[in-house]
Amino acid sequence: MAPISNTTPPEGEKKPKKQSIKKVMGKKDEKGKKGPASFFSPGGSGFLMNLLTTIVIFLLLISAYSFITGMMKEKQEISLSQVAADVRAGSVKEIEVQGNDLDLTYTDDTHKKAMKEPGTGLSETLTTLGATPEQLSTVSIKIANESGVKFWAVTLLPILLPLILLGVLFIFLARQVKGAGMQAFTFGQSKAKMTDPSDAATRVTFADVAGAKEAKEELLEIVDFLKNPKKFLDIGARIPKGIMLMGAPGTGKTLLARAVAGEAGVPFFSISGSEFVEMFVGVGASRVRDLFQMAKRAAPAIIFVDEIDAVGRVRGSGVGGGNDEREQTLNQILVEMDGFEPTEKVIVMAATNRPDVLDPALMRPGRFDRRVTIDLPDRKDRLEILTVHSRKKPFGPDVNLEVVAERTPGFSGAELYSLMNEGAILAARENRTEIAQYDLIRSIEKVMLGPERRSHLMNKEEKRLTAYHEAGHALVGSVLQYADPVHKISIISRGRAGGYTLKLPFEDHKMQSRKEFLDDIAGTLGGFVAEEMIYGDITTGPSNDLAVVTALARDMVSRYGMSEVVGPVAFATDHSYRNETYSQEIAAKIDAEVTRIIEEGKERARQVLMDHRGALDAIAMKLVEVETLEREEFEKVLMANGITPKKKKEEEPVTAAV
């Protein structure tokens, strides 16, 4: 067992001072403020920007139209008789003829407009109105080209500008409708995300997956098939069409599926089971068809459905019977998996932590015919996972990942990642450039129980009561043979707990015996009994302890067959104890046995505390003084009172590469 003395702050580093909420929380995120755009819908600020852009364009077009039409109306329009009079007076310098329109330029550079009768000549008309040929010869008459740019601009702009305005408004409205109502036309398309195998930034391989050795060996066959399908087909073997990954949350099911695709170098289509189902009937089935068509076009490929129990539950339990949308989606998945040809190189992988609720048709051979169970990592696997997550993290010389792995039984891979991340955050918060063992040990408790609540101050009497409560847990657990050894005791509030006693086994084990259960019940009741002995009264503090021992005792009687009175019969396969599978007489027997087991555990705890009253007082007083006792300090108190601490069996040391 590696020493735990390195859980104190590293030398040269001051223990973090109590910080105010303002310092810890930092500045308020400006992005979190609700801006004015949020009062518009749909689309928030995007909608507001589109609307403002459209208004600006609209105003610019109106201004341009007004400017052009204004220029056209600037010239004064006169009659032909006035034109003839001006020609006789010699004040007209030039006349430009555009069809029936006349543009007159005077000697003082002013411009006027006039209009002649259609089908008549300008010279003849002006002569008729009194202008002589000599007078007309002093005027330059030009015939404008009606196909020029200026002609067409003047002619078409009054027609085109209103149409352009209407077009801009239509495009704006269409974009908004597409973002809202028109999405209904894309409901049937698959929402699966495809991971490109050639993208090194997103590629995951088995080297990135620590632990889970048996699961990786099972999945290596799938990788081999995707790489060399001919080897299997030539010998008449058919690779499984579906692989179901089963395990507790956070054990790495999704990561393993991505690693299979990364090792094989094939496209990876991932989607959640809940993304198939919408409020419209038939949408889920349509998305399933679209997803399988995409995968077949990209074959060899992998389809991964996360949380498949969202659509794969036993049929017949839906509200709509056979017309239930979820059941139609499941039926389409079953049909698509049956429709695979032996040579189609598309493999379906799915993940769930509730395999007991899946439809039998989904789990039969020919569909998800291979099941890979991913267990919580043992100590060696936890050490590997911690080593993977320690990459690119600067550690101090005192870091020992073996100690961290030993202190984290029952942690999943996701929790171990969170532990390492919390350790880095704690170091950065204290402005240090290296992560110390002290940070990792603190992060274990933070992940398990929550952050410390040092602002939750107890008065002296509450502090003393909490110390006796935790001392009762620790002392009973240390004396009883089959209880887990104590690693730490604290009366500092953390999460919802006023204090806590950290008990961890020396070695991971998959099964527990009746003796271990009974000692655990007695140890859990140690705090309840200690309060009763010292104060002669009961508080609300042990309420969670009572709930834990009641559930454990009921499991012993009704699930594990550990009661001689009730016998080796399992009356409940889950925690729904009250059901119709047994009579009232059996229920009364179960209740009586649960009460008996708890009472016996209580008396065993009382006997231990009475026999070692001096040790109980010593532990409690030490806790009142220092608030937290690590394992080494706690064992010194035990030995001072004649109690031999539990020792770990000798085994070959396991070292961790940091």
Question: Euclidean distance between the first and final Cα of the chain, in Å?
Answer: 18
pLDDT surpassing 50 at residue 25: no
The C-alpha atoms of residue 474 and residue 118 are separated, in whole angstroms, by 114
- Contact (Cβ atoms closer than 8 angstroms) between residue 474 and residue 493: no
pLDDT above 60: residue 189: no
pLDDT in tens, 338-363: 765 655 678 888 998 888 888 888 88
Confidence of residue 2 (pLDDT cuts 50, 70, 90): very low
* Tokens found for residue 633: 């300090």
What is the structure's pLDDT at 112?
82
Nearest to 272 by CA among 240, 311, 235, 239: 311
Which of the pair, 182 or 308, is modelled with greater confidence? 308
SS3 letters for 184-204?
HHHCCCCCCEEECCCCCCCCC
pLDDT score of 3: 44
Sheet strand arrangement including 628-630: 500-503, 486-490, 628-630
Across 137-159, average pLDDT = 66
Residue 488 has pLDDT above 60, yes or no: yes
d(CA 631, CA 635): 6
Q: How many CB atoms lie within 10 A of CB 211?
A: 23
Provide the 8-state DSSP code for 309: G
DSSP 537: S
Q: Write out pLDDT tens, residues 388-410.
A: 888 888 998 888 898 888 888 88
Per the prediction, the chain carries an average pLDDT of: 77
Would you call 470 a catalytic residue per the annotation? yes
Range in 88-92, 98-102, 606-610 with the lowest mean pLDDT: 98-102
223 HSE (CA, 13 A, CB side): 18
91 vs 183, residue with greater confidence = 91
Whether the Cβ atoms of residue 598 and residue 549 lie closer than 8 Å to each other? yes
Strand partners, 629: 489
CB atoms within 10 A of CB 49: 13
* 642 CA to centre of own chain: 52
Does 655 have pLDDT greater than 80?
no
The mean pLDDT value for 362-385 works out to: 86
Predicted confidence (pLDDT) per residue in 567-606, tens digit: 888 886 554 445 556 788 888 999 999 999 999 999 999 9
Structure-derived torsion over alpha carbons of residues 140, 145, 150, 151, reported in degrees to the nearest 10: 110
- Choice between 21 and 175, residue whose per-residue pLDDT is larger: 175
Task: Give the tens place of pLDDT for each residue, 421-458.
Answer: 999 998 999 899 899 988 888 888 888 877 777 666 67
Q: Of 445, 470, 532, 630, which residue is the catalytic one? A: 470
pLDDT of residue 608: 93
User: What CATH number should be reported for the domain whose range is 75-144?
Assistant: 3.30.720.210
Count the neighbouring beta carbons within 10 Å of the beta carbon of residue 41: 10
- Report yes or no: 395 and 403 within 8 Å, Cβ to Cβ: no
Strand-pair partners of 105: 94, 111
In this predicted structure, the answer to whether residue 509 has a pLDDT above a threshold of 80 is no
On the question of pLDDT at 72 being above 60, the answer is no
Q: What is the pLDDT of residue 611?
A: 92
Place of tokens 């049937």: 188
Instruction: Give the pLDDT band (50/70/90) at residue 37.
Output: very low
What per-residue confidence (pLDDT) applies to 151?
A: 58
pLDDT score for 600: 94
Q: Is 1.10.8.60 the CATH number for 379-449? A: yes
Q: Are 382 and 654 in contact (CB under 8 A)?
A: no
Q: Where are the domains of the chain?
A: 39-70+151-186, 75-144, 193-374, 379-449, 460-640
- CATH code of the domain occupying 460-640: 1.20.58.760
Spatial CB neighbours of 256, under 8 Å, sequence gap ≥ 6 = 209, 212, 215, 216, 219, 245, 372, 374
Query: Is pLDDT at 252 greater than 60 in this prediction?
Result: yes
By C-alpha distance, which of 299, 300, 369, 384 is closest to 334?
369
CATH superfamily of 193-374: P-loop containing nucleotide triphosphate hydrolases (3.40.50.300)
Q: What is the DSSP letter of 497?
A: B
pLDDT digits over 526-554, tens only? 999 999 999 888 888 888 899 999 999 99
Give the separation between CA 241 and CA 368, rounded to whole angstroms.
Answer: 7
pLDDT at 92: 83
